[in-house]
């Protein structure tokens, strides 16, 4: 297995800290090989595939997970099947196509998930859909382990299916952390494609993690996501909308003193999204 994962930076975000009146750290998952935390999941899945001698893998995704799995299978000479909603942005599709997987389009994300589930058995590939593979949670749990050395009041996670949040909670818990897990969600969004809809395919583990940690689910709006992206830019980070949602959620949190926000996706991959996010200058 060709492996690239290294510990990602945990950076104090000075402008964000000043704005929210507490210590705000960013766990910079944008430094992973394809620019998102999905590489943690792909790498663990490939380790499993290697152990089991599996050479065909498939996933339904709105972009980052597909880009990551396609890249990892490509460099390891494995076969990849990608199931996409046909609404996927052209610049995301181009990055998936670069790694030459077999692509199947559906009308919606939910249909893409169903198509992948159906085809996994018929075609005979390893189904890597959210909620299916424990390896993804194991991959993400390493983020929890990496941030567990410090005492956080909150860890804020941009959330769609909940795999990332559940994984981080698993890694944190092992280290006996007392931290509220906050899911930043965006049900109606045009700017945060990666978390659009809040699909919760990782239930019941997602609700359990939020409840056990005395955390919360916080919904954010596009204008708040845009403002958060501008704030992150003032700290030198160009992110995609889903990542900015974690910072946007801070506005709603009480009793925060030291928070860790998951900066999950790089804006450098999605310039048209960034153009919209940063359409006004930071104040
Ligand atoms: C950039 C980004 N952040 C966060 C998430 C949410 O991850 P999860 O589906 O594990 O909740 C995604 C999912 O695609 C994503 O692309």
Find out whether the beta carbon of 64 lies less than 6 Å from any atom of ligand 1.
yes
Q: Would residue 237 be called left, alpha or beta, if left means φ above 0 and alpha means ψ between -120 and 50 degrees? A: beta
The residue ranking higher by pLDDT, 249 or 273, is 249
Q: In the predicted model, is pLDDT for residue 3 greater than 90?
A: no
Q: Would residue 211 be called left, alpha or beta, if left means φ above 0 and alpha means ψ between -120 and 50 degrees? A: alpha
Q: What percent of the chain has pLDDT over 70?
A: 99
- For tokens 């007392």, the residue is 178
Query: Tell me, what's the pLDDT at 35?
Result: 97
Find out whether the beta carbon of 240 lies less than 6 Å from any atom of ligand 1.
yes
Q: How far is the CA of 219 from the centre of ligand 1 (A)?
A: 15
pLDDT in tens, 161-217: 999 999 999 999 877 778 999 999 999 999 998 899 898 999 999 999 999 999 999
The residue ranking higher by pLDDT, 282 or 34, is 34
Compute the average pLDDT of residues 142-159: 96
Find out whether the beta carbon of 243 lies less than 6 Å from any atom of ligand 1.
yes
Query: Tell me, what's the pLDDT at 280?
Result: 64
Q: Point out the ligand 1 atom lying closest to the alpha carbon of residue 65.
A: 14
Q: How far is the CA of 186 from the centre of ligand 1 (A)?
A: 11
Find out whether the beta carbon of 93 lies less than 6 Å from any atom of ligand 1.
no
pTM of the model: 0.95
Query: Tell me, what's the pLDDT at 166?
Result: 97
- For tokens 């077999």, the residue is 102
pLDDT in tens, 118-135: 999 999 999 999 899 999
Nearest CA residue ID for atom 1, ligand 1: 265
Of 34, 164, 167, the residue with max ligand 1 atoms within 8 A of its CB, to mutate for a pocket test, comes to 164
- Nearest alpha-carbon partner for 194 in 118, 103, 126, 277: 277
Entry field: residues in the chain: 283
Find out whether the beta carbon of 244 lies less than 6 Å from any atom of ligand 1.
no
Of 202, 215, 240, 242, the residue with max ligand 1 atoms within 8 A of its CB, to mutate for a pocket test, comes to 242
pLDDT in tens, 40-78: 999 999 999 999 999 999 999 978 999 999 999 999 999
Find out whether the beta carbon of 95 lies less than 6 Å from any atom of ligand 1.
no
Query: Tell me, what's the pLDDT at 89?
Result: 86
Is residue 8 within 8 Å of 32, Cβ to Cβ?
yes
pLDDT class of 6 with cuts at 50, 70, 90:
confident
pLDDT class of 282 with cuts at 50, 70, 90:
very low
pLDDT in tens, 11-48: 999 999 999 999 999 999 999 999 999 999 999 999 99
């Amino acid at each position: 297995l060709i492996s690239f994962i290294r510990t990602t930076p945990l950076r104090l975000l000075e402008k964000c800290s000043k704005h929210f009146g507490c210590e705000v750290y960013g766990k910079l998952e944008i430094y992973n090989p394809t620019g998102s935390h999905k590489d943690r999941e792909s790498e663990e899945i490939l380790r499993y595939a290697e152990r089991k001698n599996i050479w065909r893998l498939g996933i339904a995704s709105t972009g980052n997970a597909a880009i990551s799995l396609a890249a990892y299978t490509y460099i390891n000479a494995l076969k990849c099947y990608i199931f996409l909603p046909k609404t996927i942005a052209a610049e995301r599709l181009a990055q998936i196509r670069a790694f030459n997987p077999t692509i199947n389009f559906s009308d919606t994300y939910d249909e893409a998930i169903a198509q992948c589930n159906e085809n996994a058995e018929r075609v005979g590939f390893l189904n890597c859909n959210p909620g299916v593979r424990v390896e993804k949670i194991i991959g993400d749990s390493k983020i929890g382990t990496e941030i567990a050395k410090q005492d956080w009041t909150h860890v804020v996670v941009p959330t769609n299916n909940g795999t990332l949040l559940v994984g981080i909670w698993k890694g944190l818990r092992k280290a006996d952390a007392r931290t509220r897990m906050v899911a930043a969600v965006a049900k109606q969004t045009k700017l945060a494609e990666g978390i659009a809809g809040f699909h919760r395919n990782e239930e019941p583990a997602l609700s359990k993690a939020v409840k056990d940690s005395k955390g919360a689910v916080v919904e954010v709006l596009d204008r708040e996501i845009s403002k958060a992206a501008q704030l992150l830019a003032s700290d030198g980070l160009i992110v995609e909308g889903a990542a900015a949602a974690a910072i946007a959620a801070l506005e709603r949190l009480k009793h925060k003193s030291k928070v860790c926000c998951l900066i999950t996706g790089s804006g450098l991959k999605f310039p048209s999204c960034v153009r919209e996010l940063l359409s006004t200058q930071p104040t």
